[in-house]
């Protein structure tokens, strides 16, 4: 399978949404759906890595599937608000690489004092 850029993924999601009369939900509706999906992800993480075992009556899901749902709804929200997720990602990486580059102990041993 070919790797897809975020731009292609955003276009695929838009193509999917555009086939329905409803179109994009309101930002508030999307936020509620995103919150729901994050809750489902949390539940799966708890089942796989936490102390709470899944009930026999619960349908099988996976952390991977729930992360995919979170990504899909995130893309929907970004599309409806005209947000280019590639630009957002690049901006955030720049921010984290500057602001947080010494937040945790580095494997290369560098500290803030080493940079002049």
- From CA 83, how far away is CA 33, in angstroms rounded? 18
Q: How confident is the model at residue 71 (pLDDT cuts 50, 70, 90)?
A: very high
Cα–Cα distance, 5 to 86 (Å, whole number):
8
At residue 89, the pLDDT reads 96
Domains and CATH numbers, the chain: 6-101 (1.10.287.1080)
Q: Tally Cβ neighbours within 10 Å of residue 44.
A: 20
Q: Whose CA is closest to 35, among 86, 84, 69?
A: 69
Cα–Cα distance for residue pair 9/57, rounded to 1 Å: 34
Residue 59 has pLDDT above 90, yes or no: no
pLDDT score recorded for residue 116: 63
- From 98, 94, 92, 96, select the one nearest 112 (Cα to Cα): 98
Residues in CB range of 75: below 8 A, 6 or more apart = 9, 10, 13, 85
pLDDT reported for residue 41: 95
Q: What is the pTM of this model?
A: 0.84
């Amino acid at each position: 399978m070919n790797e897809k850029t975020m731009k292609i993924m955003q276009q695929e999601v838009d193509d999917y949404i555009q086939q329905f009369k409803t179109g994009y939900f309101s930002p508030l509706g999307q936020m509620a759906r995103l919150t729901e999906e994050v809750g489902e992800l949390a539940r799966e993480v708890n089942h796989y890595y936490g102390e709470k075992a899944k009930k026999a009556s619960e349908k099988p899901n996976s952390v991977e599937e729930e992360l995919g749902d979170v990504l899909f709804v995130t893309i929907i929200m970004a599309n409806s608000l005209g947000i280019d997720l590639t630009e957002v990602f690049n901006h955030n990486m720049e921010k984290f690489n500057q602001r947080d580059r010494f937040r945790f102990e580095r494997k290369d041993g560098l500290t803030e004092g080493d940079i002049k």
